[in-house]
Amino acid sequence: MRIGPGLVVAACVLVSCSSGKSKAPGTEPDGEEYYEDEEIGFEVDDFGWEEVEAKASDTHWTRTETAKMVIKDLGVHEVRLTEYDFFADVQDPKSGTQVLEIEDLVTNNFRAVTFVPRESAILMESDDKDVLIIKNPDGSYTVDDKPAANGRAAVELLKQNPIFADASPHGMLLAYTVAQKKTNWSTLMKTSSPTGPSTFDGQQKAESGSVCERFQDFCDCAACFKVGHIDSCNRCPK
């Protein structure tokens, strides 16, 4: 796995956040979440916890979730995601890497997505291949060393890469939903059935902001492309 010049990240490292946009996600009495994005045309239903546990206690939290993804004209797929949320150095709470592993349980399509805030970088992986997206300080992007003026231009480059182009729309739309907000673990741990601390062995959970907070134009255009109407999507202007 590669992120930025000279920085190598272990293959288990990827994204974490929570919910989204359009209609705010709601919580059902059984603790499951619901999210609907009418503009792009998808719903997230039965979004519930399977497990939350501490893994490698000095490095990160892990949680596994499943959801029913409903996309207009593309039907319903069940999707499983595993989040790895890496603790930050207490001197730099924005240093933590975030990870999502996404599996479409209908098509068995799998992708891993890594967000490294210090590098302003997203890495998408499939099998032994990957594609690297970097947002530059001026708002432009670089996609595997190719320049892109904005988020839409970055998606136009990614459309030519099967790692993105062949990724499950249902999986990518769940990733889009999760990538809208950073995870507040102290809140999640208090309001969800699994319990646990918001700090662990003296380290703080990484508060790196949401992925789409930094990559909003890219996130929106990627979502519009995966549902098949990027050219008519108001969130992805030409």
Average pLDDT in the chain: 74
Pairing outcome for strands 141-143 and 42-55: unpaired
181: amino acid identity, one letter: K
**pLDDT tens readout for residues 174-194:** 999 888 765 443 333 323 333
Cα 155 to the chain's mean position, in Å?
A: 16
| pLDDT bracket for residue 210 (50, 70, 90) | confident
Residue 208: count other Cβ atoms within 10 Å of its Cβ.
Answer: 26
Query: Does position 27 have pLDDT exceeding 60, yes or no?
Result: no
- Choose among 168, 177, 226: nearest CA to 44: 177
Residue 205 is given by DSSP the state P
- Rounded to an integer, the average pLDDT of 53-82 is 80
**pLDDT tens readout for residues 54-66:** 444 456 678 888 8
- Rounded to an integer, the average pLDDT of 152-175 is 96
Which range has highest mean pLDDT (83-97, 111-125, 153-167, 175-189)?
153-167
- pLDDT value at residue 61: 74
Name beta bridge partners: 224.
Answer: none
**DSSP conformation letters of 39-89:** TTTEEEEEEEEEEEEEETTTTEEEEEEEEEEEETTTEEEEEEEEEEEEPBB
- Of 47-51, 59-63, 92-96, 132-136, the poorest mean pLDDT is in 92-96
Q: Where are the domains of the chain?
A: 23-229
